Structure 1
Amino acid sequence: MPWFRPPGATRPATVSVSALSGRQALHIVGAGILLPAGRVLTAAHVVNMALDREEFESAHPGGEVRLGVRVGRYGREAEVMVWIPVRDRDRARWRGDLAVLQLLDDLPSTLVPPQWKPPVVDMAIRAWQPAGRYTDLSVARGVVADVPETAFALLDGCETGGNIQPGYSGGPVWSAAESAVVGLVMGRLKGGQAQSDDDDRMRRRSWCVTAQGVREELAMVGADRLLDEARDAGEPPSASEYTELADVINRRLNSHETLAHCGRHVAYKIGLSHPGDGSAPSIDEFVRVLLSHPRALAELTDALYQFRPEAVSELVPVGWRIRNCLLLTSGERDRLNALLAALPNAITTAMPGVVRDALPDIDLAAALPPDAAWLDPESTDEALRTLLDELELHRRAPATDLANSALLPALVCLVLQLAALAPTELGSELVDWSRKVVDRILDTQDAVGDRFADARARARRLRRDVPRLYVQLTAVEGTDAPQLYTVRIWRRQEYGWQRVSTEEDRSYDTAQAVTEIFSKARTLIHNGVKPLIELALGREGLELDPHAWPSPGPMGTYRALGVEYPVVISCPELLERGSDLTDFLDERRRRLDGGVLRLIDPSVGSLSDLYSSFAGDLNTVGAVVPAVEARLRSQIVQYCLAIGLPVVLWGRGDNTWSEACDHLAKASPRQLPGRVHEYRRREWNKPTDGRPVLAWSDSTCPDLYLDDPSQENA
């Protein structure tokens, strides 16, 4: 008998087996019993009925056949893993008739397989028929009438109430007194009257395969291990983590009392029961629990950190390497959930930007819920849960941007970033929560202070910076109509970058696209400060003039985006993500205030002539392209962006650009967006306007992640 045991439940999880049509579960044909490792035990004849075969067909249905299985409220598809057909069948009973189904998707860890124990005569039992939805059940109550063989038992239903009927097959025979399954329902007994005291009892009699009988049948096909808690749950016993944990427990929990105390603490916290006789778990079993239960190691460190800190200092580094080991105790997670639920909606909807700002070195593209999930109040809770689950998997991040910075759990880094943005009282509670977590895992408190100071500095910069609108314009392919575009928009306010809800599947013509951008830009005008608008274009889009596209204005006039707002462009497509040139771009962005613009010689004849002008020169942060032939100008612009220059200025008024170029090139790189805006506004519709175009980005730009296809809305 294991020391760590499933809790004494009032009943096992309800399991139903259904036919499947496509991915849709049809009518329920029988019941089942949850086994460890995402498996379900049922009767083979239940599988046959689900597949519309003869009830006692003996041939294996095939490994590719899918069935519908519902465990509690969770519907899953399943395949037949073990097949034991009916044999030795007579009118009263038979042998075999078992099937183990493998679920194709995981179940929540809260669904725990029941214990198995042998039945005894006069034991009170119950059985359930999953009659429809997971909340609809038919309950049969009775007693164990006889156990004529260890492999099967006779059951008598109560004189009042429901009795075992068709549909119960494959389900558990449950003893509430033992909190265990004592058998698997096979059906109504079909023997003669001699086998029963009276006709009424005969109508209420049924039979089951006992717990021993189930194990014996599975053992004949080498599958009896499936009844037990999976021995390979979590990390395999041969893994180095198993050896290290066993060594630490053996050395640091080296008294019976300490081992028993820690075992009881962990069992209680992760929802398991344990003997009440003062005994302690074996080291082997304790380590297996630590490897298989995601919060077990956190709960153990919580029991130890105040009186055995040397043990915690050895356990925590092992936990970083265990794939499914979660950072927080259940109490810490519950407290964090409550604190984050109190965040202002403006912070929650900006969460993707906050995460990327707080954890720029961690790739969360696959795990971070899409921006649309944070904009919909009905999906925000689920999005937050998914994010926290991912960050609990012991990812670490630098506390600050400084070299050799101390590492903190990435989740703590994010919480401190949120604390800096949150209202004062809530922010203090989030900092206090972070300090308690760091105290438990024995990380340095100085790192918490450094991280929070850094987060507050970031928050101050966000509040101080000019508001931004980032617009991704993508040409719609395959249409004979005038050019159409899809529009995706983000905005940056005091809490960071936030996706703006738009009809992203809609195709816009140029006037409609600009009108949509105008409508979003107006929401960012505060205290007379207009937002900077960045238009992200593809390579071919660099020849467009979106800042000059007309949008309907009052009284038959029209408006232009570049006249009313400072507008810059970018081309994420040109700079390969993760290359050394992105490092050059980041460094040049940091030097915008002191860096210089280089005016390219008008006599340039090829891109090779440009290489020596910019290679390795980080103080040159931008280029001004002279009036050259249009094709060469396009190549020069693309080259300058591709090598990591954050500022490139050029013009499309071939005959008038020289004059505009002389005027604008005198501005500092930081001031160029404002200078170009003022020039466009002043010279609009003049024949000498030069048609200036500015590609520009600074260290607060949204970077390439906004162009990640994984961020597309569903």
Structure 2
Amino acid sequence: MGWFRYASGDDSAGVHGAFVSVLRESDRRAAGGGVLLTERHLLTCAHVVNVALGKELLAPADPGPVRIGAVFPGTGSRAPHEARVAHWVPPRRTGGGLDWSGDLAVLELDAPAPAVPPRWSEMVPGQGVRAWHGGGHAATFVEVMVKECDGWIGYVDGELSGAAIGPGYSGGPLWSEREGAFVGLVAAQLQAPDGPLAAHHVVRRGWAIPWQAVRAELESAGAGPLLAATGDGAEDAQRVPHQLLLPLAALLSDPAERADKARRVAEQCGLHALDDGSAPTYEELAAVLAEYPRALPSLTEVLVPTAHSSAARDAVDTLHATGPLAAGSRLLSYTEHHYLLALLRQHAKADPALLPRAARGALAYAELPQPVRAARIAPEAVEAAVDALEELGDSGRVPDGTPRVPALLRVAEYVAAALDGAAGDELCGWSDQVATRLGIHPAALAERRRDAEEWASSRHTDSGGTVVRLTRRPGDPSGAYRCTVWRMAPDGTATRASTGKDRPLSGPEIAGLVRDAVAPDDEEAPLVEVVVDRDALQLPVDEWRETEPDDTDPYGIFAPAALGADFRVVLRCPELRRRSPTGAADLRRRWAGCRTEETLAVDELIGDVRALKDTLNRTRQRSTGRVVLHGPVARRIQLLQVCLFMGVPVVLWDRTAAGRDDGRHLDEIDSAGPLDSLPERVRDFRVGVYADSERTARPSLVWEDPDRPLPGGLWLADPVAMTEEK
């Protein structure tokens, strides 16, 4: 890089930060290694993914839309990240049987990685390279030498001392300190076959996939666009540095000033710079700005205080406009990013719900990225949330010719508005500095600040509730459901809070997803609406809890309560009503009748399905909106479906009742009492029966409020197709 030098030692160069541990699905331990390819993509061996999924080592089949866990151990965090297989190059056996070709997988992360993508260079004979075990611990390093490399396979030998490449090293990157770059991936330890080679001949020999082979394979697999972001000298990556040259020349024509500013940027990027009185060329500086995601905002941060003329400010604005064209370019400088994280982690520790609540308020009509969808964000998850918010577009109207207010700044203003005194002022001060660097008009930021203050003064909490959709597909295990969670705003708009990883989940796993997504409410227990098909109306969703008491907590002091104790859990089943040609009108009419008509008690005395339909069709019962079901289980299930088909919006029953005599167990709920508080009365009743082993009643409540629309996707499928819904 000429004037800029990579810091000595692989750790300083960010190598450990880019290292990835690919986790086994079975026990979440390392299946092998990997490496960051772009800010959102990981590179590993296909056979490492097979190991992670418990499949045969060299199975060629693309695993499809599965979820793979990954950890960045070099960042100091063991928090797993979720990724999916984006590109698959299957292992292909060669004729000799000693090695194979292909064997690559690119995994796409749900959120930006907490590390900087590294540089890559070609593998050549004579390079000394370093590898690590898939667990990523620094002590597992192995020093080997590239003995042979034909561009497709590289053979590496280690000395007969120290660690050796072995199981668990596959997929990990090979680092060349001389090149200041990764040069390939570990593929396998060479095993002696039957024939001229014996075990002692290959005890320290492994083989690797050179970078030039990785590049060729990925281009053939359709992943070529990703290579422009690898610092590999790809043609597309060179366009951005060229576009940066003119504004850099206008701002830093003085070599001494250019050297000073470049040295400050290099320090933040973890680079060394020459200290011989020389200055970098514009091309050298542009290359660093294009390679390091926060380098360009870090440079403009030191340029803005001295950009007094309109020409200088125009040049800074040109840099800002050009920056997003660079692969992985970020909004914040290194110092802005670190300072914001420190503030938000402090506030997340005091109130984990503050940041996601502010994001929902500031970006009410935007689809929030996955790291911000949870109802609570712990301090260790703040960085992923901030990085994801950096990627969102800018907000509404601003004075002509001035930049828009980024979504991240708007969220910061809402967090500040919810804080008191100095804490809010400190965050506003940070926002002012970033806005000044970006050239945002003060009036635009002031308008967003007023919006935040109005939001904070009205109400900090959500009152829209949470919608949980449970579905099954053919072949799913008994008792397991696929789960999608939406968070509903008071105006009926929905944002997806969780997808449940698109696999069947147990009750405790679903309870964990729901707890992560439910927004707090200062005034009442949050409402959780569980949408099911008719075959799942008897599910004890309200009894599901994330964990049970164990030996370390025998009394359950720290274990979360059942969902029905903390939340107003109700059921919804639009499937049956959609089968009726008058279903929507019936629901509206009977919902109005919930406040004026008497509650209808239905038991075995009603007779059969036909008798109940006739009863609900009678003139005096056409507006009946509340029904309490009694009687034997089989008959009760049939009569429940009749009620829902006929548009009855509120149905209460006891899942454990054996007959009509058990109906008295629900008297305490007062089903005929005030309508609006019925879900809360059911919740309060559940709290009592959960705590008393002598009480067996377990109430279920269907609550179909027509003024609470469901997310659009829940209305599209017919009852048969619903079992196949993702």
* Cross-structure match for 1:334: 338
Instruction: Indicate whether 1:416 and 2:421 are aligned.
Output: no
Q: Give 1:69-108 correspondences, 5 Å limit.
A: 70=70, 72=72, 74=81, 76-78=83-85, 79-81=87-89, 86=94, 89=96, 97=101, 99-105=103-109, 108=113
Aligned length: 499
SS at match of 2:318: helix
Identity level (%): 22
Distance in structure 2 (CA, Å) of the matches to 1:706 and 1:347: 30
Q: How does 1:142-161 map to 2 (within 5 A)?
A: 144=145, 155-159=157-161, 161=162
Distance 1:42 1:417 in 2: 43
Q: Do the aligned residues in 1 keep the contact of 2:241 with 2:290 (CA within 8 Å)?
A: yes
Q: What is aligned with 1:443? A: 440
Q: Which amino acid aligns with 1:440?
A: R
> For the residues of structure 1 that align with 2:216 and 2:402, how far apart are their CA atoms?
56
State the shift of 1:395 in Å: 0.6
Segment drifting more, 184-193 vs 221-230: 221-230
Tell me the SS of whatever aligns to 2:433.
helix
Equivalent position amino acid for 1:505 in 2: V
The answer for the alignment partner of 1:548 in structure 2 is 595
Contact 2:172 2:185 survives alignment (8 Å): yes
CA distance in 1, matches of 2:218, 2:355: 52
Deviation at 1:711, TM superposition (A): 12
1 CA distance for matches of 2:20 and 2:403? 49
- Distance in 2, Cα, partners of 1:468 & 1:224: 45
Compute the displacement of 1:231 (Å): 2.5
1:432 CA drift (Å):
1.6
Shift in Å, 1:163 = 3.2
Summarize deviations over 1:634-679 as a string: whole Å, max 9, x none. Answer: xxxxxxxxxxxxxxxxxxxxxxxxxxxxxxxxxxxxxxxxxxxxxx
C-alpha distance in structure 2 between counterparts of 1:27 and 1:268, whole Å: 35
Code of the aligned partner of 1:365: E
Contact 2:165–2:189 (CA under 8 A) maintained in structure 1? yes
* Equivalent residues of 2:348, 2:355 under 8 A apart: no
Partner of residue 396, structure 1: 395
The one-character-per-residue Cα deviations of 1:206-240 (angstroms, maximum 9, x if unpaired) are 254596xx647976998899999932579994999
State how far apart, in whole Å, the 2-side matches of 1:520 and 1:54 are: 45
Q: Secondary structure at 2:246's aligned position in 1?
A: helix
Task: Determine the C-alpha separation between the residues in 1 that align with 2:139 and 2:403.
Answer: 59
Deviation at 1:424, TM superposition (A): 1.3
Paired residue type of 1:155:
D
Give deviations 1:270-327, integer Å, cap 9, x for gaps. 4556667777666566556545654333222112111234222333344578896433
Q: Post-superposition shift, 1:110?
A: 0.6
Equivalent positions of 1:168-567 (< 5 A) are 168=169, 171-172=172-173, 174=175, 186-188=188-190, 190=192, 204-208=203-207, 215=212, 230-231=227-228, 237=236, 244-271=243-270, 283=282, 287=286, 290=289, 293-308=292-307, 309-310=312-313, 311-318=315-322, 325-343=329-347, 349=353, 354-355=358-359, 358=362, 363-367=365-369, 373-374=374-375, 376=376, 382=381, 385-386=384-385, 389-390=388-389, 393-398=392-397, 408-445=405-442, 447-449=444-446, 452=449, 455-456=452-453, 459=456, 501-505=526-530, 542-543=588-589, 544-545=591-592, 548=595
**CA separation of 1:335/1:219 partners in 2, compared to 1, >3 Å: closer, same or farther?**
closer
Is the 8 Å Cα contact of residues 44 and 86 (structure 1) preserved in structure 2? no
Give the AA of the match of 1:40: L
| Cα distance per residue 1:553-610 (max 9 Å; x no partner) | xxxxxxxxxxxxxxxxxxxxxxxxxxxxxxxxxxxxxxxxxxxxxxxxxxxxxxxxxx
Tell me by how many angstroms 1:408 deviates: 3.6
Q: Amino acid of the residue matched to residue 157 of structure 1? A: E
Q: Distance in 1 between matches of 2:466 and 2:54?
A: 51
Output the amino acid matched with 1:112.
P
Which of the pair has more CA radius of gyration?
Answer: 1
State how far apart, in whole Å, the 1-side matches of 2:90 and 2:44 are: 9
Q: Normalised by the size of structure 2, how large is the TM-score?
A: 0.50
Unaligned runs of 5+ in 1: 477-486, 509-518, 522-536, 553-630, 632-703
Q: 1:388 to 1:542 in 2, by over 3 A?
A: farther
In 2, are the aligned partners of 1:233 and 1:291 still within 8 Å (CA)? no
Judged with a 3 Å threshold, the aligned counterparts in structure 2 of structure 1 residues 286 and 429 are, in CA distance, closer, same or farther, namely same
Q: Give yes or no for contact 2:121–2:179 (8 Å, CA) kept in 1.
A: no
- Find the residue that maps to 2:228 and give its secondary structure: coil
Contact 2:47–2:103 (Cα < 8 Å) also in 1: yes
1:435, 1:496 → 2: CA distance?
31
Q: Kindly report the root-mean-square deviation, in angstroms, between the aligned alpha carbons of the 2 structures.
A: 6.6
